[in-house]
Structure 1
């Protein structure tokens, strides 16, 4: 199927086309896709970075707990704009003092939320986030009906 045919097949619905070229490393075991194509004519929504704060603003000192809460917050933000996880085209995640030990936590949470419809994703290691106790933040680009 050519790129044009693939895009045209999705023109009348809200499905993203996930592309993991065979001549590149398969990123799906790590919880993301190489590229995602949005259908023509869709509106795009942008969800600001969601941290691990609970509904009172509290933050656990535990990285895994913050990541889990941040994805719960992302799900709530999606619901707030009438969207589902399978409408997320791109994630950007920010990790304080990133090291390889954190990848398992990140991958698990992404796969729990997105299943096989893994969005494109970029991980940005950072020294700190908006407030000192924050260890993780995730923002999203979403297609809307």
Structure 2
């Protein structure tokens, strides 16, 4: 084999190695939270404008979690349902081997939404996510699948 071909082969292997994406170590996995200065800062309200997943991550979707406890019991109190729904979301995350800081997007559904419910929602999101606030959309609805359910939260999760 000529010397020129050997150099081309070695160079090709280096280029191929550089071009192949590699998984980042677990301690480097992090969602990038973006709150552009040109927009209102939503973080005091418990969410972020956008979240970027790292290259090569897998996506998991968690179905809407309501305020039922493990026996199916449901409090008629909105705040109790919200707290239980986030506990259920946390259990679902653990079930797929994920952490709250891997949640990129939440969609919450609130029956008969009004501004008095925002404090309860914000407190529960901040309790669960801390500073790693996911993107979030609140959808006011007249009712959910079962009449006594007042709140439901679904999540898009980025897996390592």
In structure 2, stretches of 5+ residues that fail to align are 1-22
Equivalents in 2 of 1:82, 1:14: separation in Å? 14
Equivalents in 2 of 1:14, 1:77: separation in Å? 20
In structure 1, stretches of 5+ residues that fail to align are 1-10
Equivalents in 2 of 1:117, 1:39: separation in Å? 15
Cα shift at 1:14 = 2.0
Q: Report the secondary structure of 2:73's partner residue.
A: coil
Alignment of 1:24 onto 2:39? yes
Equivalent pairs counted in the alignment come to 135
Alignment of 1:112 onto 2:112? no
Larger Rg: 2
Aligned to 1:68: 83
Cα shift at 1:122 = 0.1
Equivalents in 2 of 1:30, 1:112: separation in Å? 12
> For the Cα contact (< 8 Å) 1:128–1:135, is it kept in 2?
yes
Cα shift at 1:72 = 0.1
Output one character per residue of 1:35-87: Cα deviation in whole Å (capped at 9) or x when no partner.
00000111100000000000110100000000000000000000000000000
